[in-house]
Amino acid sequence: MHVGELSLEWLVKSHNDILIAALLEAEKPLDWYVREGMPVPNEETWRQMIIKVQLIMSMVKDASGYLGDFKHLSVQHELAVVRLFPVGRKKVLCIVSKPEPESKIIGLIREFITRINDL
């Protein structure tokens, strides 16, 4: 994906925290760029992940009429944050970045869960 000077390589290289950028459609990646040194899943794992991403995105988009336009979805893992952005009607831009500090809301929710589990 190259639009003028824009590319997934440009996007990854523009911010030190971005590790991987991939443009997905249906069950295949259309284009991707991985920061040097980052491990990449094997082809079957990629395919399974992309199918699940598309399913999640379609479910989230269904709430647009109720909650407004869908902006993006974030999933924070211990080692990275995965963000999914809708691109047009059928494509998804997937960005994997370094993990971030938790927000005050997440901290409050984790405290709430801990207290529930202690009951």
Taking only the tens place, the pLDDT of each residue in 38-77 is 988 888 888 888 888 888 888 887 777 788 888 899 999 9
- CA dist 91 and 32 (Å) reads 13
Give the domains, in start order, of the chain with CATH numbers: 2-118 (3.30.450.30)
DSSP state of 39: -
- CA dist 95 and 37 (Å) reads 16
Dump pLDDT digits (tens) for 5-46: 679 999 999 999 999 999 998 778 889 999 999 988 888 888
- CA dist 88 and 19 (Å) reads 23
